[in-house]
Amino acid sequence: MKRDEDRSHAKWEEWLELSRYGELSDADQRQLDVHLETCQRCQSFRNELERFCTVMERAAPAKPAETDLLDARVNLWSKITPGLKKHRSPAGWVSRFIDGLQGLTTSVLPQYRTVLGGALLLFIGLAGGYYLAFQDGRMSGFAVPGMGQTDLLSNEDVAISNVRFVDSDVPDGTLGIRFEAVRPVQIMGPVDDPDIQRVLTFAVLNEQNPGVRLRAVNAVSASEGLQSDHEIRDALVTALKTDSNAGVRGEAFNALSRYPFDEAIRDAMIHTLVFDENPALRINAINRLQEQVPASFDENLERVLRTRMVLDENAYIRTKARTVLSNLAAP
């Protein structure tokens, strides 16, 4: 039993570590936040992880001062400059300017060599970026594969937004513009197609329009053979716990009723019973939990039922919670 529990929490503990370093996606972070509301084991693991990271940060070696880093960069530049001088172009105003700055940092104003060295490196980076961006009329940043500049701008299906000027002060009159080009995509296939499932999962979790979210959940609920897909199951659990629309949460509940009852669905039922404002969903949740008692009964569920028995505003739920606890206590 303990080994099964360890395996079931391995994912949550891994997600806690990823969350600590900001590497968890928004959808997974929402699932983790919901899970932490009721899981004391993961709460304890999170606290231990925070303490461990605090100890490691205190024990880490001191970071070098910014002035030391700039001095090191200037010294590096002084080492590589002789090699670069061999490859200068004849019209080398940039090279002459660099030589002037280097001489200034080493002889005229040695006390300011750190600041000037940093300015020198910044200038080199900007000059290199300018050269790469505009040499040979190079065009970059188009986000529509397979389309050239003319096709992109003349295509009526492409929406252009977020226009930014890259550099308008170019001697030859060339103008650099960066923008976002969005083109609608349409796919067709059965519900069990992996691409269709991927889009449905995204729609359930991220679509702003509640009607689209509702239709996506309906499509999943009406499909056959998806009960073994854990990614869709997790998306439905997240929708049941976090969606702002009661209709979407209700359809997510109906879709989850077709999945085998497991720990994730049990936690979703408990969350709905405790936090959902819709009394119909809370009633459905306690009925689903009653069907699984005593197999899924533990201290957490007992605590939730005792709280609902006293505090829930719905009389049916208070009575149902009392009935479940009485049946368990009966010999």
Q: Buried b vs exposed e over 35-47: b needs ≥16 C-beta within 10 Å?
A: bbebbeebeebbe
pLDDT at 73: 66
User: Residue 98: how many CA atoms within 13 Å on its side-chain side?
Assistant: 19
Give per-residue pLDDT as tens, 171-202. 666 777 777 777 788 888 888 788 888 888 88
pLDDT at 241: 92
Mean pLDDT across the chain:
75
pLDDT at 329: 66
pLDDT at 35: 85
Is pLDDT above 90 for 240? yes
Is pLDDT above 90 for 326? no
Residues 197 and 219: beta-carbon distance below 8 Å: no
Phi first, then psi, for residue 176 (nearest 5°) are: -100, 125
Give per-residue pLDDT as tens, 69-121. 667 766 766 665 554 444 444 444 545 555 555 555 455 444 555 555 666 66
Q: Identify the CA nearest to 263 among candidates 271, 273, 274, 255.
A: 271
Question: What's the rounded Cα separation, in Å, for the pair 85 and 57?
Answer: 44
pLDDT at 135: 46
Pull the structure tokens for residue 164: 């930014």
Give per-residue pLDDT as tens, 125-169. 666 655 555 444 444 444 445 556 556 566 666 777 778 777 656
Residues 15 and 28: beta-carbon distance below 8 Å: yes
Strand 159-167 versus strand 176-182 pairing type: antiparallel
What is the number of other CB atoms lying within 10 angstroms of the CB of residue 141?
13
47 or 138: whose pLDDT is higher? Answer: 47
pLDDT at 10: 77
pLDDT at 149: 59
pLDDT at 74: 64
Residues 281 and 312: beta-carbon distance below 8 Å: no
Is pLDDT above 80 for 235? yes
pLDDT at 224: 66
Question: What's the rounded Cα separation, in Å, for the pair 207 and 244?
Answer: 12
Amino acid at 185: V
Give per-residue pLDDT as tens, 242-283. 999 999 999 999 989 888 888 889 999 999 999 999 999 999
Question: What's the rounded Cα separation, in Å, for the pair 250 and 239?
Answer: 9
Is pLDDT above 70 for 289? yes
Give the DSSP per-residue string, 185-234. ------TTSHHHHHHHHHHHHH-S-HHHHHHHHHHHHH-SS-TT-HHHHH
